[in-house]
Amino acid sequence: MRSLTMTAVGAVLALTAGTAYAQDRNVTIVLSEELELVDPCMASQSNIGRVVLQNIAETVTELVPGEGLQPRLATSWEDRGDGTWRFNLREGVKFSDGSDFTAADVAHSIARTINNDALVCEIGAKYFGGMELTTNVVDDTTLDVTVDPPQPILPLLMSTLTVVPEDAPMDSYVTTPVGTGPYTFDEYNRGQNIKLSANNDWWAQSPEVTGATYVFRADSAVRAAMVETGEAEIAPNISVQDATNPDTDFSYPNSETVYIRIDVGNPPLDDKRVREALNLAIDREAFLGTIMPDGTELASAINVPTTLGSNPDIKPYAYDPDRARTLLEEAKADGVDTGAEIELIGRTNNFGNVLETLEAIQSMLQDVGFNIDLQMYEVAEWIDIYSKPFAEDRKPQLFTAMHDNANGDPVFSMYFKYHSDGLQSAIEDPKVDELITKATAATGDERAALWSELFAYLQEDVISDIMLFHMVGFSRVSDTIDFKPTIRTNSELQLSQISFK
């Protein structure tokens, strides 16, 4: 009897301890925006990626900072010539719904994400624009992928492709994503939180974090305070003025570039003198160390300087308001309506101090004679008007955006942003299209040179944008966990990389 009692007590204690252990292994992450979608094929958007990417849905390969391209769902790959690559896939992997992972799932994910007329997937539009991919399932663990035109960096491109089961719909987004990752998607309580829990059937070693709750707070100070008070473990995006605790706050180059896309085809922005005046009217240096944190760099291209083909000969436009006024007067004398109202569009909570930044830019542009109407939009509406098809009756627009490319090659940016058929391109220029096509297919020094030529042409000949800043990110991390943000934290936050102190 005593033995049974002690056993029962021991069981209770073990259960209690087990419960406490599980509770202690949950983390709360506070994001700046609520997620519009949770479909893995949209995980290239930062806040979606932080929840979904490599937590729920895994990629074929993985680019690891400091280590380069690594296996993920593919264990190896080889170039078989004529645009065809063979991917050898991991055995014994299951999706969180219990189904087996096979080469057919990767083939389906490629078809669903890329060149799919029934569904706009940002990963396909952003990273695989202008490419036609065909697949051949050799067997359950072997897949051949042929790309037209041939892609010498296809294994790197496949580090962006999130894999979903073969039965994921081709014509609609999923609301409960299923993947092969270390976590399952449990709940999305709109307006409140998203909850994940550990996938006990994950193919790799079980992570320490057994569950995660994502909450949404627009105010940076609130997000930082939540980590300070123990309400959350990680706030991945806070403003510089809230990063006041050196023990918990991390800063890092985050691969983001803030720029303003010019509506090049819409008068008066179709006049090159007007576009140059816009660039000359902004005192970029005045933002550094004030609204923008120390470490922020002036940008002359959409990719950070560590990207292949970065061109050090291209300089940011110097602040010259007098020259800007002169250019506007010359354009006006030639009949250009330089007094037309121009919308300066921004996205609420896009980055720290975004409103203050755009209000200052509005003032600088008005100072030289522009008529600027500042409009701020929440993320869903912002994305809708940022991407094609653009409204036919729109006013001339200056569209503020922040672009992330942590993958080291401009191929992840240029078609999407600048090709005539790019989803978010505001220009149609045959030379730009030709350079993108050539650079995408090139290798080695030729590839770098072509990208470099394109960066210079866009900045100096087309003047397609107002390039502003290469950004520095700030994250607050609780001193109860062991997690160090990296350049990739801006687009993904792998729970399996977190441990407890």
pLDDT at 40: 98
Q: What is the pLDDT of residues 333-387, one digit of tens each?
A: 999 999 999 999 999 988 888 999 999 999 999 999 999 999 999 988 898 899 8
The one-letter amino acid at 259: Y
Q: Which residues lie closer than 8 Å to 317 by C-beta, 6 or more apart?
A: 276, 279, 280, 282, 284, 467
Nearest-angstrom CA–CA distance, 50 and 290: 28
Nearest-angstrom CA–CA distance, 452 and 186: 45
pLDDT at 179: 98
CA dihedral 466, 160, 429, 340 (to 10 degrees): -40
Parallel, antiparallel, or unpaired: how do β-strands 249-262 and 234-235 relate? unpaired
Reduce the DSSP state of residue 262 to 3 states and report it. strand
CB count within 10 Å of CB 362 equals 17
- Burial 475-485, CB ≥16 within 10 A → b, else e: bbbbeeeebeb
The one-letter amino acid at 418: Y
Parallel, antiparallel, or unpaired: how do β-strands 465-477 and 234-235 relate? antiparallel
Instruction: State which H helix or E strand residue 433 sits in.
Output: helix 430-441
Nearest-angstrom CA–CA distance, 321 and 328: 11
pLDDT at 22: 45
Reduce the DSSP state of residue 454 to 3 states and report it. helix
pLDDT at 24: 57
Parallel, antiparallel, or unpaired: how do β-strands 68-71 and 74-81 relate? unpaired
Provide φ and ψ at 448, rounded to 5°: -60, -40
Q: Which residues lie closer than 8 Å to 171 by C-beta, 6 or more apart?
A: 118, 119
DSSP secondary structure, 167-230, as one string: TS-SSS--SS---SSSEEEEEEETTTEEEEEE-TT-SSPPPS--EEEEEE-S-HHHHHHHHHTT
Residues of the chain with pLDDT under 50: 1-22
pLDDT at 352: 81
Here the tokens at position 232 are 């959350």
78 DSSP assignment: E
Q: Which residues lie closer than 8 Å to 33 by C-beta, 6 or more apart?
A: 47, 216, 218, 349, 379
Here the tokens at position 55 are 């937590």
Q: Please answer whether residues 202 and 179 qualify as being in contact, where contact means their C-beta atoms are separated by less than 8 angstroms.
A: no
CB count within 10 Å of CB 152 equals 17
